[in-house]
Amino acid sequence: MNENQSASVENLQKIVENVVHLKIASDFLEVIISRLVAKGSAVKDNAGNYTLSVIRRKEYARMAQERTERVDRFNGQFLFLLEKEYGRKLNTEQMKEGMEKLYAILGQLTIEKSDLIARIVTRQNVENLPYEVNIHKLSSLLSKIEDQELRNAEFRAIKLLFRETSDDFYSFLFVLTQNLICIQILNLDPECQALEKKAFSEKALFLDTNILIGLVCPTDWQHKPAKSLLKFSSFLGIRCFVAGKTCEEYNSLLEEANRIFRKWESPLKFLADANNEFLSSFWSEKQADQSLTWDSYYHRTKDVGKILSDNGIQPYVEDLEKIKKNKHFERITEYVDQCYVVLKRRIKNLSVREHDAALLILIRNLRKQERNAMLGPNHWFITGDDSLLCVDNKINSLPDFADKVPSSMLFSIWLDMISPFLTIRLREGDAYETFTMLTKYQFALVPFQIDSDKLVKIQGNWTQYEWLEAKDIVRIQNQEWTKQYLRRLDQAKRKQDKSQAEEIGRIFADKLNQELTVIKDEKLKTLSEEKNALLGREEFLSKTVQEKTKESDERQKIITAQKEIIEQKQDIIESKDVELEKENTFKRKLRTVITIAGLLLIIFTVLAAAYTISPMTLEKVSFYTVFLIVGAILLFFGLAPERVVVSIVAKLGFPQSN
Amino acid sequence: MDINLPNMRATLVRISQFVLQEESEIVRENLQEKVAEAALFGV
């Protein structure tokens, strides 16, 4: 449709369908547009067609222009990254293919997520929801690019775009996600009966242990998103709870940290890279306050009641025994284990498995008491663990669970879901920041972490070496012989076989020393290479300095020579000035003499004429006239010679020179 | 919405140009009206 062109409801219906793949009945669309006319946002003409009001059109045009410019900028950034990763200039076809694949991936990411949210909000098609709404399908989407080098370059460029790019890209992605969520909801429920902001006041979120730890530990990547979750929830009137079993889990993890810290004999600096959030957070806080002790940190962190009340979270006392009596409890506990092993390739301990199973059942039980919930069910288990949706899908296959809506939701999805209902200020501030952080996290490089529990088992004098770094400890921990040592040590301890424990300890010490020697040699080699590189650089700089000094000396010579010339010229000017002054003095004296001579001649002629006036002859008159003229000429020459010369030249008709 | 749309780039860019969300207590009406406005603008 062209600007300022009116359209019928049928035409508008087609536009909505073509552009956003949204089907709205024409009579319903007319009701909506009539509301716009009543508000003054749209105008209806005599033919019954509609146009957007001038003011509204201007606002849209400005916004659309702004967003188009942003898209153009990040497209340019992406092509720059792609070309850089490819290592040579891209032709038009390659650029086109690269851009198409980028948008195919963005489409997959945003459409799947918005579809998932819309299905939950409207409670439609909720069975077997995808539990992996992320970028793991990147490789399969790129596999269609035939040129392997280009394919690899595209893979790296997309990751870089997500990791390092500017606001333009994330702003586009954020707005796109929000708009898609709304469009998908409208697709499932065109009348939007589910959309009531006040419906949020009925919602109750049960926070998982990982969210609670994220809230307490500033070093946890979930810290900021967890804070945002509480802020937004409070704004929308959503109540947040932490179940008794979750508090138990939280305490058990804190006790684990306490146990490790009590045994910790390695330098405290290694706590910064520990895989235990409590330990790394303690180290981080200690950097800001050196007087902080573990005991004070531990006691503060152990006070869950205060942590909950400070953050506006309510404790929830569930009947755990009753939940455990659910005939599916053990099976669900197994599902928790299976899904975690499949998706994370790690094992959850029994206590955590039981916690997750209990919370999933608790939510389902609480939902049974809900009446006419809008925006999906009212009770949710909010977690950072994406394996729980897999468990939910399995629970749906069990009898007694009629509601097929999952009981858990990733907190990133929850944040995306509620962000369209926030104020513009919250949305463009914290919500956008949190969205960017969570999306970037999917593409972040996994940082190495020291297994703090393993370290206290293998620590010794070697951890005190000045040159030892956290990555060296991780390298030692990842050695197969370290893993074998820890397994055999456990066995020996169980058997209470002291001699075997000593024997495997000796073998481990030998291996460790060998490895430390290798690490040390590598470091020396690296240092030596760095030193050589520095020396090379120093030599280069020294040569450059010499060349520059030489150049500078030559320049100095030229400057000196030029100064001498200037001085000579100044001397010449000065001598000329003296000569000129002398000449001027002489001229002044000469003019004085001429003036006096002229004056005397005139006086003499006048006096002589007065005494010899009778008899006046023609000869006498001629004689005195000549004298008077000569006297006058002399007088004029003496007083204003230039004027006399100029006027004589002018009278004689000579051309004047400049 | 199909995740394998033939012209995904154009679709996503146009959707991102919508000004769907504004301050409103009545989210439902706001949402419907913004879609209608976007259609009238002819994004």
A389-421 pLDDT, tens digit each = 899 989 988 887 777 788 998 888 888 888 877
Contact yes or no for A60 and B12 at CB 8 A = no
Give the minimum alpha-carbon distance from B24 to chain A in angstroms, rounded to a whole number. 8
Helices (H) and strands (E) in chain B, counts: 2, 0
Q: Which residues of B touch A39 (CB under 8 A)?
A: 33
Closest CB from A12, A63, A103 relative to B39: A12
pLDDT tens, residue by residue, A258-303: 999 999 999 999 999 999 999 999 999 999 999 999 999 999 999 9
Query: What interface predicted TM-score (ipTM) does this complex get?
Result: 0.87
Q: Could you tell me the pLDDT band of residue A657, with boundaries at 50, 70 and 90?
A: very low
Please enumerate residues of B whose Cβ is less than 8 A from a Cβ of A: 1-5, 8-9, 11-23, 25-29, 31-43
Nearest Cα residue in chain A from B33: A32
Within 10 angstroms of residue A257's Cβ, the number of other Cβ atoms is: 24
Cα(A607)–Cα(A609) distance, integer angstroms: 5
Quote the pLDDT of residue A1.
44
Average pLDDT, chain A: 87
pLDDT tens, residue by residue, A19-61: 777 888 888 888 889 989 998 989 998 888 999 999 888 888 8
Question: How many CB contacts within 8 angstroms connect chain A with chain B?
Answer: 150
Q: Is residue A82 pLDDT above 90, yes or no? A: yes
Contact yes or no for B42 and A15 at CB 8 A = yes
> Where are the domains positioned within chain A?
9-174, 202-443
Q: How far is CA A165 from CA A80, A156, A611, in A?
A: 11, 13, 115
Q: Which residues of B touch A103 (CB under 8 A)?
A: 8-9, 12
Tell me what the mean pLDDT of segment A323-345 comes to: 93
Q: Which residues of A touch B21 (CB under 8 A)?
A: 178-179, 182, 420, 424, 427
Q: How far is CA A272 from CA A258, A278, A301, A449, in A?
A: 15, 10, 18, 9
Side-chain half-sphere CA neighbours of A244 within 13 A: 8
Share of chain B above pLDDT 70, in %: 65
Contact yes or no for A68 and B13 at CB 8 A = yes
Identify the weakest region by mean pLDDT among A276-290, A400-414, A523-537, A546-560.
A400-414
Quote the pLDDT of residue A134.
57
Contact yes or no for A67 and B15 at CB 8 A = no
Contact yes or no for B15 and A424 at CB 8 A = no
Which of A5, A65, A73, A179 would you mutate first to test chain B, the one with the most B CBs within 10 A?
A179
CA dihedral A19, A24, A25, A26 (to 10 degrees): -50
Record the pTM. Answer: 0.74
Closest CB from B13, B15, B43 relative to A183: B15
Closest CB from A39, A52, A107 relative to B41: A52
pLDDT tens, residue by residue, A419-445: 877 877 888 888 888 888 888 887 777
Sign of CA dihedral A329, A330, A333, A338: negative
Q: Which residues of B touch A104 (CB under 8 A)?
A: 4, 8
Contact yes or no for B27 and A32 at CB 8 A = no
Does residue A215 contact residue A311 with C-beta atoms inside 8 Å? yes
Within 10 angstroms of residue A603's Cβ, the number of other Cβ atoms is: 11
Residues constituting chain A: 658
Give the minimum alpha-carbon distance from B18 to chain A in angstroms, rounded to a whole number. 7
Which of A22, A54, A60, A422 would you mutate first to test chain B, the one with the most B CBs within 10 A?
A60
Residue with tokens 């039981």: A354
Quote the pLDDT of residue A145.
78
Cα(A461)–Cα(A107) distance, integer angstroms: 54
Beta strands at A42-44 and A50-52: parallel, antiparallel or unpaired: antiparallel
Quote the pLDDT of residue A295.
96
Does residue A215 contact residue A230 with C-beta atoms inside 8 Å? yes
Closest CB from B5, B19, B28 relative to A60: B19
Quote the pLDDT of residue A256.
95
Q: Is residue A337 pLDDT above 60, yes or no? A: yes
Closest CB from A2, A107, A186 relative to B31: A186
Does residue A369 contact residue A403 with C-beta atoms inside 8 Å? no
Tell me what the mean pLDDT of segment A454-468 comes to: 92
Q: In sequence order, which ranges of A237-328 are alpha helices (DSSP H)?
A: 244-263, 277-288, 294-302, 304-310, 320-324
Q: Is residue A453 pLDDT above 90, yes or no? A: yes
Q: Is residue A205 pLDDT above 50, yes or no? A: yes
Q: Could you tell me the pLDDT band of residue A658, with boundaries at 50, 70 and 90?
A: very low
Quote the pLDDT of residue A296.
96
Q: How far is CA A274 from CA A11, A455, A477, A484, in A?
A: 61, 9, 12, 21
Sign of CA dihedral A647, A651, A652, A658: positive
Cα(A111)–Cα(B2) distance, integer angstroms: 8
Cα(A264)–Cα(A261) distance, integer angstroms: 5
What tokens appear for A70 in the block?
Answer: 């942003």
Contact yes or no for B13 and A52 at CB 8 A = no
Omega before A615 within 30 of 0, i.e. cis: yes
Nearest Cα residue in chain B from A74: B13
What tokens appear for A254 in the block?
Answer: 């804190």
Q: How far is CA A196 from CA A68, A237, A376, B19, in A?
A: 31, 13, 11, 19
Q: Which residues of A touch B15 (CB under 8 A)?
A: 19-20, 176, 179-180, 183
Q: Which residues of A touch B20 (CB under 8 A)?
A: 178-179, 182-183, 420
